[in-house]
Amino acid sequence: MATKTKNCWKTAEKLTICAVLVIYLTGCSFAGISGSQSASSDAEKKVTKSDFALDTVVSVTLYGTDDPTLAEGCLDLCHKYELVFSRTDSESELYALNEQNSMTVSDDLLSVITTALHYCEVSNGAFDITLGEISDMYGFTSDSPSVPPQDKLDAALAHVGYQHIHVDGHTVTIDDPETVVDLGAIAKGYIADRLADYLKENGQQSAVIDLGGNVYCVGTKPDGSDYNVGIQYPFEDTSKTITTVHVSNMSVVTSGIYERSFEQDGVLYHHILNPQTGYPYDNGLLAVSIVSEKSVDGDALSTTCFALGLDGGLALINSLDGIYAVFVTDDYQLHYSDGFQAALEQ
């Protein structure tokens, strides 16, 4: 019988820092100032706090202040949410659900599972939150990742399928005891939204939340203009960008094949898996970035659109209001959803 443990959000030492997005404040008088001591007014102040949480580096930058209290509050919240959404921490609520198979869950876990199931359905199962067991078999975050043997893949695939998850009020039931729910493709987006709420509720008008490349820009820059968020050039240093978007009060999230991947026998194996085969999607995409008001949608949709491929992903985004996407294909061409350039690149 398969054990329901594994490596989502577990191994700091295995971290591949995937700061997919590069935030920079061009045109600001204070660009480049790293501390607040030299600042001459509140508008020029900023403070950043970083930590390892959610299996990645998280950082929160507050603008217009040098008081780190709210940034530290955000990092505390990240650790609090780890205890809800981590699949591997035996203290977490998701861990308990995977062990017990049926239980009453918190509003947070209910919300993420419900939203995730929506994207499972919208994508006809290309996005599927029951791939955790298979993800673990590859060991993407381990020292020696490898392709699982076919018989093991087949055995695990028999228990993959979001249809095994049922929601009735606050009760969530997994009807196959060997099915493992994994919220790694969506939870960081939900957490970014909660951090943004926390900052706004506490009067912080201007901030950037970066949960390992899952970015939320709170308000505007202190001078009232948009933030410039650079989207990483695939496989290059994180400081090299392939395009830049201008946003305020928006989330920017990227799923890319260069984030967690390894090479075996000349083939690159990445971490976005096809639930039909257990192998990584091989559809000519290098990355998909989503710009949306809610980061939970951006996170789920970046993975969903990657799974659907260029045509299916573009069709999905073009059917949604206020959500934009840019796809990078393996010829390094950019493919934009309707209105992307007019809304975000001006």
Q: What does each C-alpha distance from 125 to 161, 183, 341 come to in angstroms?
A: 8, 15, 30
Complex with Mg ion: residue 210 or 299, whichever CB lies closer: 299
Complex with Mg ion: residue 25 or 317, whichever CB lies closer: 317
Cα pseudo-dihedral 287, 291, 293, 296, rounded to 10? 0
**Contact flag: residue 93 with ligand ADP (CB under 6 A):** no
**Contact flag: residue 255 with ligand ADP (CB under 6 A):** yes
**DSSP code for 90:** T
Q: Which residue is nearest to Mg ion (CB)?
A: 303
Q: Residue from 6, 164, 194, 260 that binds ligand ADP (CB under 6 A)?
A: 260
CA angle 103, 296, 226 (to 5 degrees): 155
Complex with ligand ADP: residue 129 or 207, whichever CB lies closer: 129
Interface pattern 278-307 for ligand ADP (x via CB under 6 A):
---------------------x--xx---x
**Contact flag: residue 131 with ligand ADP (CB under 6 A):** yes
CA angle 293, 295, 301 (to 5 degrees): 100
Q: How far is the CB of 303 from Mg ion (least distance, A)?
A: 4
Q: Residue from 93, 133, 210, 259 that binds ligand ADP (CB under 6 A)?
A: 259
Nearest to 302 by CA among 320, 314, 290, 292: 290
**Contact flag: residue 129 with ligand ADP (CB under 6 A):** yes
**DSSP code for 14:** G
Complex with ligand ADP: residue 70 or 156, whichever CB lies closer: 156
* Rounded Cα–Cα distance for residues 270 and 257 (Å): 5
294 binds, among ligand ADP, Mg ion, none (CB under 5 to 8 A by kind): none
**In this chain, which stretch among 74-82, 98-106, 184-192, 323-331 interacts with ligand ADP, using CB under 6 A?**
184-192
Type of residue found at 265: D
Q: How far is the CB of 299 from ligand ADP (least distance, A)?
A: 5
**Contact flag: residue 182 with ligand ADP (CB under 6 A):** yes
CA dihedral (1, 166, 122, 124) positive or negative: positive
Tell me which long-range contacts 34-40 makes (C-beta under 8 A, separation of at least 24). 35/66, 36/65, 36/66, 39/66
Contact residues for ligand ADP, defined by CB under 6 A: 8, 127-129, 131, 135, 182, 184-185, 188, 255, 259-260, 271-273, 275, 299, 302-303, 307
